[in-house]
């Protein structure tokens, strides 16, 4: 991915627009992160008003978006959802047809729905509008409980800050976990949040925040190789297993087991990028136990193999080394076929 077009329309939401600019438009080459040719485009160049009472001046028409590797669609007010400029819809359809990435932030998914590119696919939007979207576009499988959805090369995100989660998810696939983590640190946001929109839907906040469990999660991250149980973690937190599991789910939006599985995947990604250690060693350090289990989890979660991931995202700095994996590629190919 080298070129990114962010489509802006009348009444655009400034924060969500800024998410795309922050994720793809900044020069981070001093951190070894590749720059993208990022351009803001609109159907009629000139002054484009935001929904907050100020305007921006955009010089680029939509022509760049017809060739961009990624087309980002920022949200517009509800009154525009069924009256989107047909020129914008054509750009979205063309991007999907040629296999480019398409990413919508928050209610920008309604623009994708109007273009017809979400028919037969899974998608999401802000939880406040999920029912509206399901009624307007019954051919779309709307999931109101997630932060983002990827279906093929189309990514839709939930409300506001979930757009950052979606952008980081895409960047992990294009530039790898290590560089994406650097971007997240520069943004001062978590590289990857667990849970979904259910955490934010009109429910009272839990009595304590996730900070109360921070010592436990820090210990979990330092001991990924161990066979961690809820009973063991609850003892660390000085809670009963039932209370701990309930508190963890309320604070993190995920069970301890699913949160731990995601952290193990992330750790294995970083080891594949930063070291030459064999898959058995990486599996051990990440808590998967064996290379076979590591391959199965990689295929299920990331849709690729550890060897293919390493070939694409390996870093060029000094790395720890270990014996090479014998016949890993053939073994992983069979795992991918079984998961598929």
Structure letter (DSSP) for residue 35: P
Dihedral pair phi/psi, residue 265, rounded to 5° = -65, -45
Structure confidence at residue 304 as a pLDDT band (50, 70, 90): confident
Q: Is the pLDDT of residue 210 over 90?
A: no
Distance in angstroms (rounded) separating the CA atoms of residues 325 and 316: 19
Same fold, 204-253 and 258-339: yes
pLDDT at 197: 62
Distance in angstroms (rounded) separating the CA atoms of residues 162 and 135: 23
Structure tokens at 5: 């077009």
- Contact, 306 vs 298, CB < 8 A? yes
Domain ranges of the chain: 3-187, 204-253, 258-339
Question: In the predicted model, what is the mean pLDDT of residues 2-28?
Answer: 95
Q: What is the pLDDT of residues 145-199, one digit of tens each?
A: 888 999 999 999 998 888 999 999 999 989 988 898 889 888 877 666 655 565 4
pLDDT at 135: 95
Q: Is the pLDDT of residue 119 over 50?
A: yes
Residues 6+ apart with CB under 8 A from 225: 284, 285, 286, 287
Average pLDDT across the chain, whole number: 86
CATH architecture assignment, domain 3-187: 3-Layer(aba) Sandwich (3.40)
Give domain 204-253's CATH number out of 1.10.8, 3.40.50, 1.10.10, 2.60.40: 1.10.10
In this structure, of 91-100, 120-129, 244-253, 314-323, the range with the lowest mean pLDDT score is 314-323
**CATH code at 258-339:** 1.10.10.60
In this structure, of 185-194, 255-264, 299-308, the range with the lowest mean pLDDT score is 185-194
- Percent of the chain scored above 90 by pLDDT? 63
pLDDT at 321: 44
Residues 6+ apart with CB under 8 A from 299: 305, 332, 335, 336, 338, 339
pLDDT at 315: 61
């Amino acid at each position: 991915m080298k070129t990114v077009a962010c489509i802006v329309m009348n009444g655009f939401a400034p924060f969500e627009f800024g998410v795309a600019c922050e994720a793809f438009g900044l020069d981070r080459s001093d951190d070894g992160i590749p720059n993208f040719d990022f351009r803001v485009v609109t159907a009629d160049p000139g002054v484009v008003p935001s929904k907050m009472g100020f305007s921006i001046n955009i010089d680029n028409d939509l022509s760049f978006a017809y060739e961009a590797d990624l087309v980002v669609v920022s949200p517009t007010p509800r009154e525009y959802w069924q009256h989107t400029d047909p020129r914008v819809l054509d750009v979205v359809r063309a991007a999907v047809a040629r296999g480019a990435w398409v990413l919508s932030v928050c209610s920008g998914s309604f623009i994708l729905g109007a273009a017809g590119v979400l028919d037969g696919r899974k998608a999401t939007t802000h939880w406040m509008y999920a029912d509206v979207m399901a009624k307007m576009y019954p051919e779309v499988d709307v999931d109101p409980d997630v932060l983002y959805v990827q279906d093929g090369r189309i990514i839709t995100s939930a409300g506001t800050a979930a757009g950052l989660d979606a952008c980081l998810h895409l960047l992990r696939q294009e530039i790898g976990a290590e560089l994406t983590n650097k971007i997240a640190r520069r943004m001062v946001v978590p590289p990857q949040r667990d849970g979904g929109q259910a955490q934010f839907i009109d429910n009272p906040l839990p009595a304590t925040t996730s900070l109360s469990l921070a010592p436990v999660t820090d210990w979990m991250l330092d001991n990924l190789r161990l066979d961690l149980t809820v009973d063991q973690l609850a003892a660390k937190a000085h809670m009963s297993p039932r209370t701990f599991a309930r508190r963890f789910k309320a604070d993190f939006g995920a069970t301890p087991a699913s949160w731990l599985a995601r952290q193990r995947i992330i750790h294995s990604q970083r080891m594949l990028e930063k070291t030459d250690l064999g898959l058995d060693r990486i599996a051990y350090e990440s808590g998967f136990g064996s290379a076979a289990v590591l391959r199965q989890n990689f295929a299920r979660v990331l849709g690729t193999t550890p060897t293919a991931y390493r070939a694409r995202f390996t870093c060029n700095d000094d790395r720890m080394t270990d014996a090479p994996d014998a016949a890993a590629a053939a073994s992983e190919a069979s795992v991918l076929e079984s998961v598929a």
